[in-house]
Structure 1
Amino acid sequence: MTEVKTSSGFVRGTVVDGVASFKGVPFAAPPVGDRRFRAPEPPEPWDGVRDALDYGHTAPQGDYPPPIDKLLANVVNDGDDYLNLNVWTPEQAIGGDPRPVMVWIHGGAFVNGSGGIYDGTTFARDGVVMVSINYRLGVNGFLWFGEGTPNLGILDQIAALEWVRDNIRAFGGDPDKVTIFGESAGGMSTATLLAAPAARGLFSRAIVQSGGGHIAMSPGSAVKVARRYAKILGVEPNREAVAAADPQAILAAQSALAAEVSKKPFKRLWGDVAANHLPFEPVIDGTIVPGLPETAIAAGASSDVGLMVGSNAHEGRLFLAPTGSAPKVPPFVPYVYARTAGAKKPAATVKAYRKHRSDESWGDLTAAFMTDAYFRAPALRLAESHPGTYVYEFQWESPQVPGLGSCHALEVPFVFDSLDGAKYSALTGPSAPKGLAAAMHKAWIDFAVTGDPGWPAYDHTTRSTMVFNTTSGVQSDPRPHDRRHWER
């Protein structure tokens, strides 16, 4: 056991093999009662020493839809005090020279996940202080009727980073050398923080995994979504009425709304959300999120922040292969995706993709559009607009489900160098290459420590991309024939 003093009081953590961990440490007061739809407030100080031995409560959420729930790790621990974080640090760093800090923002489409799914031991083992955080999800974090404080989930992330700034030195971390990184909604959050004025100065480097700066809806779209949500829930269209509803009904209405968006992705119904199928996401409110993040970044927001971005080769297959629906997708579906996802010439895009994938099903073609439109192209746009950005692509393919390939979220256990645990085995299988995990984990740490992950930065001439696979190496402009269809 070991103890550290925070701004709210002492916390007691555990030490195993030279790594000290502190779990479930509150960075904000419980967002319940009058605080339900307000900006995060500091936690109440405590007397004595608070045990930080186990992961804390998680944000209210439902389950991942089947059969994806069998592949993606998730833990739900109900309770009010869920604005908490976890810290892993080399034991010798406490009271010693400050180490670089890495802050992980979890994914889950802004409705699932928690910082308590992940174990930062490998990062601390290799010399950095690792932090994972929670934030408000779904209705609690992103529902907005046009009144009150928007983007509460993003404000929670900023509050967690402020806690890191104020407290991490006591854990052996350097508050001036913080790297934020996240995957999926966590990657989208990372890009949003790059564009958020309130997050300026809270981090010096960022890694966007399978995310991008293209996710944020207009105020009008947010109100459309919120009003439809209230109708599904059967309450008046305001936050007070939503807060008074049964907690399980709130989650059930979230799922029903998501199903409606997926079934009828029409702009007249959902506005911006029709293009990305995420009814709960940041809203462009003009202050917290002043504009579309990728536009703000292109205009110079966080130009002094080091950046690494990337995606997986078959992101979209996670949403089709596990259900076995890919071979059943009719030919018109790729055309719909090409149009709604922003291809410059949808019909020509389908024809060109078909030319290079003549042996694949229409479902595989749809998954390729999802991969490039929602993940790869946004990552490359960030790299093109932010000089000195490093780009990667993860290509190792999972053997677990036929056609799963290098799907969405598959790279996470490699980044964490955590292939041995049962947590990820359903996705990776029992024989995933440990050498690849070691190489990726090292690149992420090298970037956090030095700003250089070990390969050339991306530019318009070479488009250097580190391809991670059983044999990894730098490639120049992988699949240019696909990339060009999504350029803006």
Structure 2
Amino acid sequence: MLSIGRVITAEGLVRARGIRYATADRFAAPSPVAWDGVIDDSRRGPACPQPPSMLAPMVGNSVEGLSFDEHCQVLSVTAPAGASGLPVMVWFHGGAYVTGSGESTKYETGLLASEGVVVVNVSYRLGVFGYLRDNLGLLDQFVALRWVRDNVAAFGGDPANVTVFGQSAGGDSVYALMLTDTEGLFHRAIMQSAPMGTRSPERAEMTAALRAAITVDASTSVEDVLAAQVAAVADVGPRFGPSGGMPFAPEVGADLAAAASRVELLVGHTADDGSPYVPSREYWEAVTELIFAGGARQLAQDWTAAGGRVATYLFSWAPADAPLGCCHCMELPFLFDPEGWLGAGMLAGQEPDPVLAKTLRGAWTTFARSGLDALPSRSLEFGG
């Protein structure tokens, strides 16, 4: 067991990596794992087995250096040393529900935590392992939130002041969590570039087609599960328009009233979210509107109509001569420690503007600390 003193960084932070919050057999619901109080800052936890990311040329390898294991229900915590009663921010990574990990070096939260919050990074089951049936990945996320409720005070976090936030599929996870949380595990949420346009009526039919195509069981090797997943997605996905762009996702209802009554929401997107997914610039705007912007705008309107409180944002910074403009994921090097994003193709050899990064982190942590009333506007813009 390591003492707190031995894991305080030079920046005055406490980091605990790879804490197991649940365990589960393949295709089974997660069972919570009691935390034994051990704090280890040296070893990152495993990522869920996954195929290569189609966005790797743009963002880099998000799972570089990580091991892979179906038993990937781990989380990591970063907190200011000596913290007490600080707001808690729980991060859910993106990757279309098939790639990525909360343990990624791209999601280092030192600068965010230094703004006076406790940050928890969650890893959960992906693809066939998590979303072929029974919303298992979503159930993992709920067990992680209960772990936060029960344990985050040990790191100086306030379990009564929790904000969930996520980008892309992580933002979609936030949407699903808001609609299905009946325990009051969080009261604020940030949805970053959630692909709401993939939540169309045809999704149920696509899910049924995937289930018919992927015939694996508990004895199938991991390699064969991934091969079956890739083959089924390539065959089934193109038949279902926008939904086929994210074949795996939790199945949830769309009744916003209860969620809007208890959750303050900040929702938005990048100016050119759709650019990585189309072959030419002339289609960027249409795909951005169809998959990302239109859904964010409609959700904000629906949230308000349901009696909820909401603010919106647009992130529009792009490096000079950027091949994809202000593309999907562009805000992430501003929100997290930028070292993990060095060499990312989308940055075109440039570094994030540190002033804008400080502004973005300040807005996110201000919202987490004090809610919408502390923001300078209900319609935020970054980098225009």
TM-score (norm 1): 0.71
Partners of 1:229 and 1:254 within 8 A in 2: yes
Letter in 1 for 2:357: A
Q: How far apart are residue 53 of structure 1 and its match?
A: 2.5
Deviation at 1:221, TM superposition (A): 3.8
**Cα pair 1:22 1:87 within 8 Å, conserved:** yes
Aligned residues: 371
RMSD: 2.5
Q: Kindly indicate whether residue 271 of structure 2 is the aligned counterpart of residue 316 of structure 1.
A: no
Q: Report the CA distance shift for 1:45/1:123 in structure 2 as closer, same or farther (over 3 A).
A: closer
Q: Distance in 1 between matches of 2:39 and 2:377?
A: 46
Structure 1's 215 and 197: CA in aligned 2 closer, same or farther, altered over 3 A? farther
> Are residues 1:156 and 2:140 paired?
yes
CA drift at 1:437 = 1.0
Alignment partner of 2:376 out of 447, 451, 455 = 455
Cα deviations by residue, 1:39-71 (Å, 9 ceiling, x for unpaired): 11022666x946453211111111113xx3122
Map residues 415-454 of structure 1 onto 2, 5 A cutoff. Answer: 415-416=335-336, 418-423=337-342, 425-428=344-347, 429-452=349-372, 454=375
Q: How does 1:113-152 map to 2 (within 5 A)?
A: 113-117=100-104, 118-144=107-133, 150-152=134-136
1:397 matched to which residue of 2?
318
Distance across 2 between alignment mates of 1:318 and 1:123: 27
* 1:154 and 1:189 in contact (8 A); partners too: yes
**For residue 277 of structure 2, what is the amino acid of its counterpart?**
F
Question: 3-state DSSP class of the match of 1:21?
Answer: strand
Contact (CA 8 Å) 1:265, 1:274: kept in 2 or not?
no
Distance in 2 between the 1:400 and 1:243 partners? 49
Equivalence for 1:360: none
Deviations 1:94-151 (A, max 9, x none): xxx310000000000000000011111112211100010001000010112xxxxx10
SS in 2 for 1:243: coil
Asked if structure 2 preserves the Cα contact closer than 8 Å seen for 1:178 and 1:205, the reply is yes
Deviations 1:161-184 (A, max 9, x none): 000000000110000000000000
Q: Which amino acid letter does the alignment assign opposite residue 265 of structure 1?
A: R
Gaps of 5+ in 2: none
**1:258 maps to which of 230, 233, 257:** 233
Aligned to 1:475: none
- Work out the CA distance in 2 between the residues paired with 1:206 and 1:311: 14
In the alignment, does 2:289 pair up with 1:372? yes
What is the deviation of 1:301? Answer: 2.2
Asked if the contact 1:215/1:281 (under 8 Å) is kept, the reply is no
Task: Please list, as runs of the form range in 1=range in 2, the aligned pairs for 1:89-488 lying within 5 A after superposition.
Answer: 89-93=79-83, 97-117=84-104, 118-144=107-133, 150-198=134-182, 200-211=183-194, 216=199, 219-230=204-215, 241-262=216-237, 264-266=238-240, 275-283=243-251, 289=252, 291-292=253-254, 296-297=255-256, 299-320=257-278, 325-326=279-280, 364-387=281-304, 388-399=309-320, 401-402=322-323, 404-416=324-336, 418-423=337-342, 425-428=344-347, 429-452=349-372, 454-457=375-378, 465-469=379-383, 472=384
Give the AA of the match of 1:53.
S
Match of 1:23 among 14, 17, 28: 17
Say if 1:189 and 1:305 are closer, same or farther in 2 by CA, change over 3 A.
Answer: same
Match of 2:82, SS? helix
The letter for the 1-side match of 2:20 is: P
CA distance in 1, matches of 2:272, 2:112: 27
SS at match of 2:326: coil
After superposition, the Cα gap between the structure-2 partners of 1:444 and 1:28, relative to the gap in structure 1 and judged at 3 Å, is same
Kept after mapping to 1: 8 A contact 2:210/2:236: no
Give 1:2 shift.
5.6
Greater relative contact order, per chain length (Cα 8 Å cut-off, separation 6+): 2
3-state SS in 2 of match to 1:315: coil
> Residues of 1 paired with 2:301 and 2:172: CA distance?
17
Q: Distance in 1 between matches of 2:53 and 2:38?
A: 36
Q: CA deviation at 1:228?
A: 1.9
Q: Which residue of 1 aligns with 2:48?
A: 59
Residues in 2 aligned to 1:2 and 1:98: alpha-carbon distance in whole angstroms: 23
Kindly state the Cα deviation for residue 426 of structure 1 after the two structures are TM-superposed. 3.2
Paired AA for residue 253 in structure 1: A
* Alignment match, 1:77: 67
**How many Å apart are 1:303 and its aligned residue?**
1.9
Unaligned 5+ segments in structure 1 are: 5-10, 145-149, 231-240, 267-272, 284-288, 327-363, 458-464, 473-488
1:302 CA drift (Å)? 3.6
1:10-44, Cα deviation, whole Å (9 max, x unpaired): x9844332100000001102x3xxx2111110226
Aligned-partner Cα distance in 2 for 1:20–1:172: 10
1:40 corresponds to 2:30: yes
